[in-house]
Amino acid sequence: MSQLSTHILDTALGKPAVDVVIRLEQQIGEDWEVIAQGVTDIDGRLKDFGLERLAAGRYCLTAEIGQYFAATLRETLYPSAQIDFVITQNGGHYHLPFLISPWSWSTYRGS
């Protein structure tokens, strides 16, 4: 089984994105099921999704960045940012951060 964590950095401000809703879904057959949800803390982090571990499979991590930008009184092109990823084998830690600005976003596998 694998563990998952994330954080969101607002690169336009150079600060963590606080109070962003993040949803974790797992693909089961042809359908997607929400298996966890949380909100980033004062450091822009979501360290614990409340799950023991994640089994091998396909997942989608969605950050509701449109709500964050609206709360900070900024326009954005993206209402959400999604990381569609696959855990190929049980075990390991997956840290998948979001780097966001009103007009772009990116990700990488952190440590």
pLDDT tens for 12-52 read: 999 999 999 999 999 999 999 999 999 999 999 999 888 87
Q: What are the structural domains of the chain? A: 3-101 (2.60.40.180)
Q: Is the pTM of this model over 0.85?
A: yes
What single-letter amino acid sits at 65?
I
SS3 66: helix
Task: Look at residues 39, 46, 44, 41 and name the one whose alpha carbon lies nearest to residue 95.
Answer: 46
Report whether 5 contacts 46 (CB < 8 A).
yes
pLDDT tens for 54-90 read: 889 999 999 999 999 999 999 999 999 999 999 987 7
